Structure 1
Amino acid sequence: MAINIKYRPLKAFLLAIHTGSFTHAANQLGVTQPSFTALIQDLEEVLGLRLFERTTRTISLTSAGEDFYSRIQRPIADLEEAYRSLADLAAVRRGNVALGALPSTALTLLPAAVGALRHVHPALKVRVVEAHNDELLAMLRTNQIEFAVAAQAEPAPDLTFTPLAEDCFCAVYPAGHPLGNVRRMLHWRDVLRYDLILLSQGSNARQQFDRAVRDEVGAPVTALRYDVTNMGTAAGMVRQGLGVSVLPRMALPELNLTGLCCVPLGDASARRYIGVLHRRDRSLSPAAQALIVQLEAALNDISQRLLPLPPLSATEGPAARDMTQPATGPSVPRRPEKSSPRKQKHPKD
């Protein structure tokens, strides 16, 4: 036989026991005393048993009422705790979020976004996994992370991609290098003339470079001299005059680029969109949504420190911005203040 179990009469029953009075219990439940008495009577009718012995002054449990109380006290408390817990999740008063990020986005966007999130939702816990783009997609599909801040190399029917920003790759070379004498926009073919310091196989930067050189330039990458894992290492080797590197524009504000020049490449194949990827068959948790809001805000702030995206057609004009000199002119972004050298985490992308 199916039993119509209602929470409100059960809560009224427990309040009556805890207060020892229908009047006080009705006040706590927020109903009139006649309405409260009706709730108890409905419960007794459903159960087919009398639960209380009542007089004009006192109430006491019957033996059936005592047995019923011993059985429902803990389950009702657990049910209420479950409701409170989910309400906290919905209101982002607590929760956990695990996300993945390309090292270039983790280096620049994540610290500011997570810091802002802590001010707004201090009880949230965040776990960040830095990995190559292909690794992030694999972790998404196996539920190791809830979402990723990554590039979408090609459409994936099982994933949803929401663009955050357009990014590009930049040639990085020491001041005084011959690339600084090029009086037009730089392209892949320009950097191929020199020894290259590239990020390792598996990184999105390396994949995009190899694909562009193969499909558009039609040249083998014979100039590769150094294969490194971390962007900070690449920048340091460029500073030593060991070659030219190609690094993501998004990461440049957080790298030590003293004495280096950085020029966005004008090839269409040097562009990429950075965005939020998550599984199409799963909804983002309130905690994840709150973090994405902060990521968008952090991106708006960091955009003022990024080099401008170049037009996709070759134009005449100065090719580079020397990172050792103050930036001037309305078309050049504000240069961040120099900071003292600090130990880097050796990001990779």
Structure 2
Amino acid sequence: MTTPSAQALPAPSYSATIRHLRAFLSVAKHRSFTRAATELRLSQPSLTMTIQQLEDIVGGVLFDRTTRNVILTQEGTDLFPVAERVVDDFDLAIRNIRLTAWSRNSCVRVAVVSSIATKILPRILDGFLASRPGVRVQLREGNSNDVRRLVRRNEVDVGFASMDGDDAELVFKPLLRDQLGLFLRNDHALHAVAKDGVLRWADLANHNFVGLTPDTATGPILSQMEHLPESLRVPKLEVSTYPTLWALIENGLGITTAPALAAEFLPDNGIAFLGLAEPVAWRSVYIVSRLGRAPSPIVTALVAAIEQDLATIAKGHSRITTS
């Protein structure tokens, strides 16, 4: 007598599921359909049907049932370690996924340019965190190139920076536009030249200028402007971060241009802000995310809080606009 091949066996009308395997393991452990049904919170007829389905799938009887006991058949004994391993692996995978999901929803990793880091986030984080116990925010500040790189590498959940051309891996959503203006000490001679708080770019000629490097948002804007004074096109000093920029201006080493948002809530450090015209130049900031990666609810909430605060600042402001 020959054993029929697997191909000769009729195919069942359904496939084994984790539910089938859990039911099988529970009956095997308790050696009782009644106790297994209680553990699984199933009716006994429902549990009996589930086991019958599994037996149909495997093509053999899994339990010998007597009036006093339920024991595994040889087929059931063969299936037991396999079912146990599959269910254990599945439960471990679910626990790991839940842990990852919890971690994503309890920690927000953000990369930001300096103007957002210093002017916006301090205004909203206290209330944001107070209403969300257990949530942590990890901030990484840098220039726009740094921010885009961190988002591209999935080292942060979201970024706020300028856009440097198309990027196949990133998605850019407009956040705000603000005008470039002049930052200088309160005692600088250019104050006497300004008309209604506004200077022309040509007025900056022959003054010591501190520039921002090309990997920032401001540097590329100046490089695309025509007819700038030589002292602005080829500055004697260039920096890549705002803290260094402010320190140089505060200590009288020169003047600089920066976006209008940086002028909001200027500390009492002797630095003033003047508008610049002829031409008016704008900086654009975007919400930067990884293509194909859906934000967690907590990231969405933080972005919404930032958008709301910026909308409040931009209301009635001639030099700052939001989308």
TM-score range for the pair, normalised by the shorter chain length: 0.7 to 0.9
- Whether contact under 8 Å (2:31, 2:70) holds in the other structure is yes
Structure 1, residues 268-296: CA drift from partner, whole Å, max 9, x if none?
Answer: 6532221212344x12242xx52242133
State yes or no: 1:227 paired with 2:238.
Answer: yes
CA 1:84 to 1:264, structure 2 compared with 1: closer, same or farther past 3 Å?
A: farther
Structure 1, residues 93-138: CA drift from partner, whole Å, max 9, x if none?
Answer: 65776554323334444567777469637377x6655443245445
Residue type at the aligned position of 1:261: A
Alignment of 1:47-196 (within 5 A): 47-87=58-98, 89=100, 99-109=110-120, 116=128, 120=132, 122=134, 128-138=139-149, 140-141=151-152, 147-156=158-167, 159-181=170-192, 182-184=194-196, 185-196=198-209
Residue type at the aligned position of 2:162: A
Q: Percent of aligned pairs with the same residue?
A: 24
User: CA offset at residue 160 of structure 1?
Assistant: 2.1
C-alpha separation between the residues in 1 aligned to 2:93 and 2:266?
Answer: 46
Partner of 1:315: none
Q: CA RMSD in A?
A: 3.7
Partner of 1:284: 294
User: CA offset at residue 38 of structure 1?
Assistant: 1.0
Scaled by the length of structure 1, the TM-score of the pair is 0.71
State yes or no: 1:13 paired with 2:24.
Answer: yes
2:288 is paired with a residue whose SS is strand
Structure 1, residues 15-36: CA drift from partner, whole Å, max 9, x if none?
Answer: 2234443223223333211111
C-alpha separation between the residues in 2 aligned to 1:202 and 1:68?
Answer: 61
C-alpha separation between the residues in 1 aligned to 2:139 and 2:62?
Answer: 54
Residue type at the aligned position of 1:35: S
**Equivalent position to 2:219, from 203, 206, 213:** 206
Structure 1: 5+ residue stretches without partners: 313-349
Residue type at the aligned position of 1:270: A
Structure 1, residues 133-182: CA drift from partner, whole Å, max 9, x if none?
Answer: 24544555565555431112445465321122223333111113233231
State yes or no: 1:297 paired with 2:305.
Answer: yes
- Whether contact under 8 Å (1:264, 1:309) holds in the other structure is no
- Whether contact under 8 Å (2:105, 2:298) holds in the other structure is no
CA 1:7 to 1:188, structure 2 compared with 1: closer, same or farther past 3 Å?
A: same
Larger Cα-atom Rg: 2
C-alpha separation between the residues in 2 aligned to 1:307 and 1:34?
Answer: 66
Structure 2: 5+ residue stretches without partners: 1-5
Partner of 1:341: none
2:81 is paired with a residue whose SS is helix
Paired residues in the alignment total: 305
CA 1:218 to 1:246, structure 2 compared with 1: closer, same or farther past 3 Å?
A: closer
Scaled by the length of structure 2, the TM-score of the pair is 0.75
State yes or no: 1:263 paired with 2:274.
Answer: yes
C-alpha separation between the residues in 2 aligned to 1:111 and 1:64?
Answer: 65
Partner of 1:25: 36
C-alpha separation between the residues in 1 aligned to 2:39 and 2:177?
Answer: 56
CA 1:46 to 1:229, structure 2 compared with 1: closer, same or farther past 3 Å?
A: closer
2:273 is paired with a residue whose SS is strand
Partner of 2:284: 273
